Amino acid sequence: MNKDSSIALLAQRLRAEARLLPAGERLPSSRTLTERYRVSPVTVSRALALLAAEGVVVTRPGSGTFVAERRAAGRPADFGWQSVVLGEGQGGVEGMARLLTPPPADAIALSGGYLPLAFQPLRALAAASARAARRPEAWQVPPLAGLPELRAWFAAPVGAEPSDVLVAGGGQAALWTTLRALLRPGEPLLMESPTYHGAIIAARAAGLHPVPVPMDGRGVRPDLLAEAFARTGARAFYCQPAFHNPTGAVLAPERRARVLEAARTAGAFVIEDDFARYLAFSTPPPPLAAADPDGTVVHLASLTKPTAPSLRIAGITARGPVAERLRACQLVESYYPARPLQETALELVTSPAWPRHLRAVSAELRARRDALVRALAVHLPEVELVSLPEGGMHLWVRLPDGTDDTALADAARAHGVIVGPGRPYFPAEPPAPHLRLNYNCTPTAEDLAEGVRRLARALRSRPSGTSS
């Protein structure tokens, strides 16, 4: 169990205990709670702080922790008026929240976007953070576009100048800033279909209209992309040319120039989400932006996925006037990413530990991919593996016709395995049922086979005749 879940569990137990005691009653000492629940003093302290913030207990220095006075019951609050004022909600956000919520302790996670704890570079991050924090300037206002050395590091794979890079607060923030800078509410945004569901949600939250462009095993179809530009008048196309989420596809070499040409002909931008560049099993393909001298491509790259969830640092590379628009947009929305995080990221990626970490992660993810493929062949031969990715964290599988992927994901959760239904990854109606299965989340590779066995039981236990 991770530390956060231990704190939440202890707080839940102490909350229940406090409800049975009269107001003013003293809770057991921290030492007693530590021994009773077999947790660390830090866990006890943070659990009590959580209850104090909720008003369940009050802490009196030198005296202990006491049950707080209970508020007198009043009439229930009426929030109905807010529904009228707020209008239509942001659909799909619940799915993103589920991805960021730790699974139940007894469940096997085959869905999620981060490395397991054992493969996060925690020691290297701790050392990098300590070195960064000792510098007094680390706590001051950074250069508004980011630390120059960090901008140079993000610029190198693209063949850009450091001045072309804006450091952002993680991949999702970089995407949000880019959408807001390039497009106005009500405009269309072309997107691969399927695509990263966080991009679909961000586009809709920005008031944009996602327009699907079909893809196959070699990436987006350039002929249909050109047709979509002509039909919609769209000014931007969002894509993931390398180790696409969710399919794992890599844009075929012969299609790269045609994608750029379609955008140039339409006078439109290409938003290249290069999220898995540092999760490749071998040398990744060059970014589309590396073949673009005219500023057609806005390139996004993040450090979060190959490191740890809270190292939320990304780079946006853009050439021409759009770069100034991006900087202005970020300045209005968030000023700049926290300088200590920027300093920590710079320390990490310029240390000898960084290439060693990437090699270890690459080897482990490849082994896990192979283990998951073997488990599917043995325990779920009725599903079809769409492609065998050479990077990234997931497989994309087609389910038997007539399967309701969302209902299957719910049934799988009941069987103790967490999977991602395919439906949210389509900007419009899905043509067939799919699942996204991650091989990066479980504590060990051995858990993958058990997860597939549980998924197989869920699939075969569904009522006959269930359809999508």
Under 8 Å CB-to-CB from 144, ≥6 apart: which residues? Answer: 327, 331, 335, 336
What is 93-113+355-460's CATH topology? Aspartate Aminotransferase, domain 1 (3.90.1150)
- Contact (Cβ atoms closer than 8 angstroms) between residue 238 and residue 195: yes
Residue 336: pLDDT above 60? Answer: yes
The CA distance from 117 to 138, in Å, is 27
pLDDT confidence band for 465 (50 / 70 / 90)? very low
Q: In angstroms, rounded to a whole number, what is the distance separating the alpha carbons of residues 58 and 56?
A: 7
- Rounded Cα distance, 197 and 93, in Å: 10
The pairing of strands 236-239 and 219-220 is unpaired
pLDDT of 76 over the 90 cut: no
In this structure, which topology does domain 3-67 adopt according to CATH?
Arc Repressor Mutant, subunit A (1.10.10)
The answer to whether 237 and 268 have CB atoms below 8 angstroms apart is yes
pLDDT (tens digit, 9 = 90+) per residue, 215-227?
Answer: 999 999 999 999 9
Strand partners, 238: 191, 271
- pLDDT for the residue 85: 85
**CA distances from residue 244 to 135, 409, 465, 466 in whole angstroms, order as listed:** 39, 22, 32, 30
pLDDT band per the 50, 70, 90 thresholds, residue 2: low
Phi–psi pair at 76, nearest 5 degrees: -60, 140
H/E segment holding residue 435: strand 434-438
Q: Out of 82-96, 154-168, 300-314, 398-412, pick the least confident.
A: 82-96
Predicted model pTM: 0.86
Identify the CA nearest to 108 among candidates 459, 371, 438: 438
* Mean pLDDT, rounded, for 190-213: 97
Whole-number pLDDT of residue 464: 47
Average pLDDT over residues 47-61: 91
Q: For the domain made up of 126-349, give the CATH fold.
A: Aspartate Aminotransferase; domain 2 (3.40.640)
* Residue range(s) occupied by CATH 3.90.1150.10 in the chain: 93-113+355-460
In the chain, list all ranges with CATH 1.10.10.10. Answer: 3-67
pLDDT of residue 208: 97
Q: Where do the CATH 3.40.640.10 domains begin and end in the chain?
A: 126-349
Instruction: Burial-class residue 340 by CB neighbours within 10 Å (0-12, 13-18, 19+).
Output: middle
DSSP 8-state secondary structure symbol assigned to residue 387: -
